[in-house]
Chains A and B, each alone.
Chain A
Amino acid sequence: MTRPLLKISDVSVEFGPKANAIRVVDSVSFSIGAGEAVGLVGESGSGKSITSLSILRLIPDPPGRIVSGSIEFEGQDLLKLPANRMPEIRGRDIAMIFQEPMSSLNPVMTIGDQIAEALMLHQDLDRDARWQRVIEVLSLVGMPDPAARLGAFPHEFSGGMRQRVMIAMAVACNPKLLIADEPTTALDVTIQAQVLELMKSIRASVNTAILLISHDLGVIADLCERVVVMYSGRIVEEGSVESIFSKPEHPYTRGLLQSIPRLDDDRKRLYQIAGTVPMAGSVKKGCPFYARCDLRVDKCAAEMPPMFEFSKQHKAACWVTGEAEQ
């Protein structure tokens, strides 16, 4: 197998004072191939944002820190890199779009300057070429009349437009990996669809690998080839979109799939997974999904299930389905 673009192995992240730290991301491992789009799903608070921030080493410290693991990008462990080397990678090789379009742009800088800054930091262009490129990426993300909008400030745009500016900024340097942390969650539905279309067309034109974070499996199926499912800071299932949609092996993933509304559906109520997500780091022993699981057996409470392999591309951490498979 060729070396993946990004290989995350056993990454754990803790928050709070060392003495009673809360582990919000626990031994997470997955990888992304060059040009591949991977979806990361999970309920609110499952650790998706923290996992993605750890790739760029942007976890606010204090209170958080990456306590173990490795994050290899093109074979180089980012966690071993001296902190002053990270800025070379951020924005150039790995770019990120954030969950909060309203607050993620600097209110006192024009959008033109903010996009140009990304170029200035990483590319050796003269002024004219730089502005040319800014206009180019702005039209790529569907900004009407981009040349006239360079001097506008973020507050002059709607949320959807701001998210387009964020995307333009992220793709300006043609990153090898684009991390999109719920790029559409804060937007209303029609705008969501537009931004997703945009992500798709960008993927086609820039050929960047994408890590798309969402709590919406539908969004992920639309854009990605592979899915990673997180629950309470752990990866519980991982596989190709087809195999996970057709044959989910973890009861949590099954629940997630059942709660997607469908047109051919005559159920009166949507399926709902009973109970609530345990506080990250609160489950010390056994499967974190135990309390809400319909399949649970005694073993689940006692011991954390390992990742069982269901096929070459499909793994899930469940004692019941996993042992039945063996």
Chain B
Amino acid sequence: MGRMIGLRLIDAIPTILLVLTLVFVALRILPGDPAQVALGDMATPAQLELFREQMGLNLPLWQQYFIFLWDMLTLNLGRSLVSNVPVASIIAANLPYTIELTLVATGMGVIIGVPLGVLAATNRNKLPDSGVRVFSLIGYAIPDFYLGALMLIVFSLNLGWFPINGGGTDFLSRLHHVFLPALTLAMVKSAFLGRLTRTSLLEVLGKDYVRTARAKGARENRVIYRHGLRNALLPVTTGLGLSLLATLSGSVAIELVFNRPGLGETLIGAIAERDYPVIQAGAVIFAFFVVFINLLIDIAYIAIDPRIRVQS
């Protein structure tokens, strides 16, 4: 098990290099002159030149590339062009909020979605199944920022149950702050996971080994949870990973709607101000998340399916 995880980690290295390269290339072909944007319209050509010199923008591209790689790998993220604050501390201040939002939303999505899928699968073509289908359709159809705005208006502005903005300070207030935005993301996620669980469980419940479980006298609950769900969770795990990524990018919009601190909000601001080092670091961190989440999915697979464990 430990060895397999080690192997997956090594497998991730080329992916990470590729991701860094893509970020580098993407930023070089972005329109606009960072020096001009950073220093404003009043800057003199000499000031612009000095700035380019300091930022290493005059070096040949391949040199810039290696410097960039080295900086990213050593977490030397530079300073914000706008505020001159180290990018690392900007990220450190905002990233926890995004992680918190993503994790809570994912947890809620699983807690709502998987049982809904089980409910639908075990009551196939009956009322609960139709109910879950309608819920899923709504979840798919409503854009998350719109749903977020609705929630904000109803539960925060009108009913006053939840705070209107910010990220909270101590544990309880952070939980209070994260609840509505996380629920918004979780609705979309549980719609997806619910459908996935339903399909997957229905397929598994038709398998021979489920019949074997019934034949040895297992009751329906045992058949569904012990024998069915564990096998049905494999495709759901993949779906969960994909939806985790969707949530991460969805959090960008949700952070704006709820006026929450976070990586999304930071990145949007940085893009508007063409704050190069911040955009760069944000993109790299998002990319690392993708690699990391894929790694988690692989590990979950190994834990769930013994057949994968032996193959290597």
Cβ of A320 to closest chain B Cβ, rounded Å: 40
CB of B126 within 8 Å of the partner chain = no
What are 26 A-B residue pairs whose CB atoms fall within 8 Å in the complex?
A58-B211, A87-B219, A88-B217, A90-B214, A90-B216, A91-B217, A95-B215, A96-B215, A98-B208, A100-B208, A103-B208, A106-B209, A106-B212, A106-B227, A107-B306, A108-B230, A108-B231, A109-B227, A109-B230, A117-B226, A118-B217, A121-B217, A122-B217, A153-B306, A153-B307, A169-B216
Task: State which of A84, A91, A155 has its C-beta within 8 Å of the C-beta of B215.
Answer: A91
* B196-221 to A contact mask, C-beta < 8 Å, 1/0: 00000000001111011111111100
In this complex, how many residues of chain A approach chain B with their Cβ under 8 Å: the count is 32
CB of B305 within 8 Å of the partner chain = yes
Residues 155-203 of A contacting B (Cβ, < 8 Å):
155-156, 166, 169-170
Residues of B near any A CB (own CB < 8 A): 206-209, 211-219, 226-227, 230-231, 304-307, 310
Contacts of A58 in B (CB 8 A): 211, 214-215
A-B contact sample (15 more), CB < 8 A, given A153-B306, A153-B307: A56-B215, A58-B214, A87-B218, A90-B216, A91-B216, A92-B217, A103-B208, A106-B209, A107-B307, A108-B306, A117-B216, A121-B217, A122-B217, A155-B307, A169-B216
Cβ of B208 to closest chain A Cβ, rounded Å: 4
Closest to A156 in B: B310
Residues 89-114 of A contacting B (Cβ, < 8 Å):
89-92, 95-96, 98, 100, 103-110
Q: Are B212 and A105 in contact (CB under 8 A)?
A: yes
Cβ of B53 to closest chain A Cβ, rounded Å: 61
A58 vs B208: C-alpha distance in the bound complex, in angstroms? 11
Q: Are A166 and B212 in contact (CB under 8 A)?
A: yes
Closest to A113 in B: B226
Cβ of B166 to closest chain A Cβ, rounded Å: 44
Contacts of B214 in A (CB 8 A): 56, 58, 87, 90
Q: Are B209 and A103 in contact (CB under 8 A)?
A: yes
CB of A261 within 8 Å of the partner chain = no
Contacts of A117 in B (CB 8 A): 213, 216, 218, 226
Contacts of B206 in A (CB 8 A): 60
Task: State which of B212, B230, B310 has its C-beta within 8 Å of the C-beta of A104.
Answer: B212
Contacts of A91 in B (CB 8 A): 215-217
A153 vs B231: C-alpha distance in the bound complex, in angstroms? 14
Q: Are A89 and B209 in contact (CB under 8 A)?
A: no
A107 vs B230: C-alpha distance in the bound complex, in angstroms? 10
* A50-91 to B contact mask, C-beta < 8 Å, 1/0: 000000101010000000000000000000000010011111
Closest to B227 in A: A106
